[in-house]
Amino acid sequence: QVQLVESGGGSVQAGGSLRLSCTASGDTSSWNTMGWFRQAPGKEREGVAAIDSSGISTAYAGSVKGRFTISRDNAKNTVFLQMNSLKPEDTAMYYCALRPGAWYPASWSADVKYPYWGQGTQVTVSS
């Protein structure tokens, strides 16, 4: 079993920055895809960014491209999401997810493909 714990959420003003972290523990292997998803009240969960096991391949939602950066430190079993130029529409609960195995760029944002999830961390951006 895999456990994921997120941290780093909070409240910021528009234009500010936050850095989210997610650490995996348990039956982990570095051969996996790790992703960040978010869900705002009344909206469906959406993929924000994902990264392959090597850290070389990444993918982003169009709404965050150029503002958010995903990275990982395999030695620490941790994935990061650096969020810059935050907007009120970025307000949501952010979840870390893990998908064992290979990188599938066509389905990186399909939440059903990720069997392991963290509990979420709230990000609130005020205007």
Q: Rounded mean pLDDT of the chain?
A: 96
Torsion of CA 80, 33, 108, 72, to 10 degrees: 20
Q: Which band of pLDDT confidence, cut at 50, 70 and 90, is reported for residue 24?
A: very high
CA distance 77 to 30: 7
**Which residue in this structure is represented by tokens 């910021």?**
12
Q: What secondary structure, in 3-state letters, does 17-66 show?
A: CEEEEEEEEECCCCCEEEEEEEECCCCCCEEEEEECCCCCCEEECCCCCC
- Give the Cα separation of 5 and 25 in Å (integer): 9
What are the tens digits of pLDDT across the range 47-93? 999 999 999 999 999 999 999 999 999 999 999 999 999 999 999 99
Residue 118 burial (CB count, 10 A): 21
